[in-house]
């Protein structure tokens, strides 16, 4: 039995190819949702929009301090795992749900597979970096998206035979969910936008939105971009960001703020943007895959491949640097190579975790250690 543990909307998106593969093979599996995000109702819409089965368990832990939230998730996951006794627990990414899920399983001597393992920003002030490192070092199978990620794990002393280079499930998700989105209403028509005639913004990272100086600088930079290019700046605002904007008494001039939207709508608006400004790691990947220039509102990134291929640039949170970086990226044509794989990561991961009895093993690249035969 496979336990798919997730807790945030990006995890739902990136786990969707794995869930679909489990469904297609009629495997014995279940979904456990920690309810880490602010609104489980918003997450529920993601399952519905992406045509995924509903979670068997929802812990509904909500927000809290790092310790409070992690503790609630750890306790809840442990109870479910003791009841269900799965053979392997799959977690994805770098959230508190990932670390708690991996730790609960490891302490119960249940195998752990970390999807999107090996990412590093090398910034331990980020809670996500701590979560990544802990999850990687207690996992039995590390499904890395790139050669950089594999090398980082080897440098940290993780055994080579635990590491499998699969590509990133975000490629599968973008391809699969873009097909679903074509059946839905066009959000560009709803918002009165023309393709390539607007900028898109996302920002939710704690180090950005909880810091009044950083948040003010980002807003000033967005306002400067709007003045310079006279194009709409569309900002689907995360609940955390909206809360801090209101708490700090800030306003946004020339920036069109809207409520968060579903992933399918976001995929449409993202794929048609002239350029995206973000502090999200997942959005950095998506824009790279979609051929849309990206400006990252951080000083570092755990997706260096996006910079190496020319799809992304680090701007930090300084208003002047944001404006300069936008000008730099507007000259990019979007013809860079996608470094995150061929869209078969979900199938490979499920095969590695067992798949159907007697099923032919999915071949993996010659430079990938063969942990596939150890399951």
Positions marked catalytic? 204
Enumerate domains of the chain plus CATH numbers: 2-168+341-374 (3.40.50.2000), 182-329 (3.40.50.2000)
Q: What percent of the chain has pLDDT over 90?
A: 82
- Model confidence band, residue 368 (pLDDT cutoffs 50, 70, 90): very low
Q: What is the pLDDT of residue 363?
A: 38
Mean pLDDT over each residue of the chain, to the nearest integer: 91
**Least confident span in 14-23, 42-51, 69-78, 119-128:** 42-51
CA dist 52 to 9, 182, 208, Å? 13, 17, 32
**Least confident span in 133-142, 144-153, 188-197, 358-367:** 358-367
- Model confidence band, residue 186 (pLDDT cutoffs 50, 70, 90): confident
Residue-by-residue DSSP string for 63-123: ---HHHHHHHHHHHHHHHHHHH--SEEEEESSSHHHHHHHHHHHHTT-EEEEETTT-----
Q: What is the pLDDT of residue 42?
A: 64
8-65 pLDDT, tens per residue? 989 999 999 999 999 999 999 999 999 886 565 567 778 988 999 999 999 989 888 9
Average pLDDT over residues 120-134: 94
Q: Where are the alpha helices (DSSP H) in the chain?
A: 9-24, 40-49, 66-84, 96-107, 127-138, 147-155, 169-181, 187-191, 206-209, 212-229, 239-247, 263-271, 281-290, 304-308, 319-329, 345-352
- Model confidence band, residue 128 (pLDDT cutoffs 50, 70, 90): very high
pTM of the model: 0.86
């Amino acid at each position: 039995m496979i336990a798919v543990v997730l807790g945030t909307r990006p995890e739902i998106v990136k786990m969707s190819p794995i869930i679909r593969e489990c469904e297609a093979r009629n495997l014995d599996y279940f979904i456990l949702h920690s309810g880490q995000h602010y609104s489980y109702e918003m997450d529920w819409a993601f399952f519905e929009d992406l045509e995924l089965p509903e979670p068997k368990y929802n812990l509904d832990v909500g927000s809290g301090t790092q310790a409070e939230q992690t503790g609630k998730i750890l306790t809840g996951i442990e109870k479910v795992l003791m009841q269900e006794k799965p053979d392997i627990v799959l977690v994805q990414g770098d959230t508190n749900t990932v670390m708690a899920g991996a730790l609960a399983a490891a302490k119960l001597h249940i195998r752990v597979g970390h999807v999107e393992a090996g990412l590093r920003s090398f910034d331990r002030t980020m809670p996500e970096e701590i979560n990544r490192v802990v999850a990687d070092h207690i996992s039995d199978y590390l499904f890395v998206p790139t050669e950089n990620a594999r090398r980082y794990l080897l440098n940290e002393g993780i055994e080579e035979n635990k590491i499998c280079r699969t590509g990133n499930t975000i490629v599968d998700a973008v391809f699969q969910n873009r097909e679903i989105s074509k059946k839905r209403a066009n959000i560009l028509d709803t918002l009165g936008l023309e393709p390539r005639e607007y900028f898109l913004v996302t920002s939710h990272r704690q180090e950005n939105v909880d810091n009044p100086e950083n948040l003010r600088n980002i807003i000033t930079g967005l306002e400067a971009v709007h003045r310079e290019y006279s194009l709409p700046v569309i900002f689907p605002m995360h609940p955390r960001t909206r809360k801090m904007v209101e708490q700090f008494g800030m306003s946004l001039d020339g920036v069109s703020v809207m409520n968060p939207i579903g992933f399918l709508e976001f995929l449409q608006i993202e794929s048609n943007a002239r350029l995206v400004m973000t502090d999200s790691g997942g959005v950095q990947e998506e824009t790279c895959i979609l051929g849309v220039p990206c400006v990252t509102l951080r000083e570092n990134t755990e997706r260096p491949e996006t910079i190496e291929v020319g799809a992304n640039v680090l701007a930090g949170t300084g208003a002047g640097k944001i404006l300069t970086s936008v000008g730099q990226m507007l000259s990019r044509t979007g013809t860079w190579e996608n470094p995150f794989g061929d869209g078969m990561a979900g199938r490979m991961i499920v095969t590695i975790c067992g798949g159907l009895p007697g099923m032919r093993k999915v071949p993996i690249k010659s430079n990938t250690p063969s942990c596939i035969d150890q399951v």
